[in-house]
């Protein structure tokens, strides 16, 4: 059993932990496992994340999003109006891989996203405080949502963050009223998992 499956069981998660890996123009595409499927229709980024939490392996890129905010937050489209600290502005970004990381360990992932309830969230915050000996400060609401608060911000700032999601991801039923998302950068995953499991 890998560490992500242990994390899922320890927190009693109903969804798979989602791995995120950024793929750049210079990446040898032969390194991308054939299990990843390209989007067959445009969706909101949060919908792609939900699909990955349900077991799908996705390779998404510019033009796959039905939500303009996702294109801007993930760095596929320029915007002078978007708060810089919530935008993933990495040159040469070609794809984002989303996958159930407890089912397939992909090397050099950038971050993970967990679909949580308030109790799980409390356990992660307690583990963070115990491990780092400081309160967890979260950033919400500048540009609400999965694309900015628990993907772009987490990877760019290398910090844990939570999202209460955007209105659309609640309205369209992608996530339930009881679900909160947490993003954890790869560099902090190992220690946090160990602390949570203990």
Question: Does residue 149 contact residue 86 with C-beta atoms inside 8 Å?
Answer: yes
The share of the chain scoring above pLDDT 70, in percent, equals 89
Q: What is the pLDDT of residue 167?
A: 77
- 13 or 81, greater pLDDT: 13
Contacts of 40 (CB under 8 A, 6+ apart): none
Read off the pTM. Answer: 0.91
> Can you tell me the mean pLDDT for 1-24?
94
* Residue 197 and residue 7 in contact, taking contact as beta carbons nearer than 8 Å: yes
- Our measurement of the distance from residue 123's CA atom to the centroid of its chain's CA atoms, rounded to an integer in Å, reads 18
Cβ(94)–Cβ(25) under 8 Å?
A: yes
The answer to whether the beta carbons of residues 149 and 159 sit under 8 Å apart is no
């Amino acid at each position: 059993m890998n560490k992500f499956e242990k994390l899922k069981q320890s927190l009693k998660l109903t969804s798979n932990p989602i791995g995120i890996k950024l793929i750049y123009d210079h990446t040898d595409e032969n390194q991308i496992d054939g299990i990843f499927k390209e989007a067959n229709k445009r969706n909101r980024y949060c919908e792609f994340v939900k699909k990955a939490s349900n077991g799908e392996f996705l390779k998404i890129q510019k033009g796959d999003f039905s939500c303009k905010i996702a294109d801007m937050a993930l760095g596929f489209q320029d915007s002078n109006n978007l708060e810089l600290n919530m935008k993933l502005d990495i040159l040469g970004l070609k794809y984002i891989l989303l996958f159930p990381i407890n089912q397939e360990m992909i090397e050099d992932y950038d971050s993970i996203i967990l679909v949580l309830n308030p109790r799980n969230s409390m356990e992660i915050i307690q583990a963070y405080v115990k491990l780092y000996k400081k309160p967890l400060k979260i950033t919400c609401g500048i540009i609400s949502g999965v694309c900015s608060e628990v993907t772009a911000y987490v990877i760019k700032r290398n910090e844990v963050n939570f999202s209460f999601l955007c209105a659309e991801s609640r309205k369209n039923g992608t996530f339930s009223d009881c679900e909160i998302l947490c993003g954890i950068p790869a560099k902090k995953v190992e220690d946090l998992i160990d602390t949570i499991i203990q």
